[in-house]
Amino acid sequence: MEKQDVNDLCVKHFDWVERMGWHNKTPLEALALIASEVGEAVNECRGEKPTKEFGEELADICLRVFDLAQWQGINLQQEILNKIEKNEQRGTRGRRV
Smaller CB separation from Mg ion, 31 or 40:
40
Considering the rule CB under 5 A, would residue 60 count as an interface residue with Mg ion?
yes
Question: Cβ(38)–Cβ(61) under 8 Å?
Answer: yes
- Piece of 12-20, 30-38, 75-83, 88-96 that binds Mg ion (CB under 5 A): 30-38
Compute how many other C-beta atoms are within 10 angstroms of the C-beta atom of residue 96: 4
Compute how many other C-beta atoms are within 10 angstroms of the C-beta atom of residue 64: 22
Angle between helices 6-20 and 76-90 in degrees, nearest 10 = 140
Q: What is the smallest separation between the CB atom of 50 and Mg ion, expressed in angstroms? A: 14
Smaller CB separation from Mg ion, 8 or 56:
56
Considering the rule CB under 5 A, would residue 40 count as an interface residue with Mg ion?
yes
* Closest-approach residue to Mg ion (CB): 60
Considering the rule CB under 5 A, would residue 44 count as an interface residue with Mg ion?
no
Question: Cβ(37)–Cβ(61) under 8 Å?
Answer: yes
Our measurement of the distance from residue 81's CA atom to the centroid of its chain's CA atoms, rounded to an integer in Å, reads: 14
Chain residues binding Mg ion by CB under 5 A are 37, 40, 57, 60
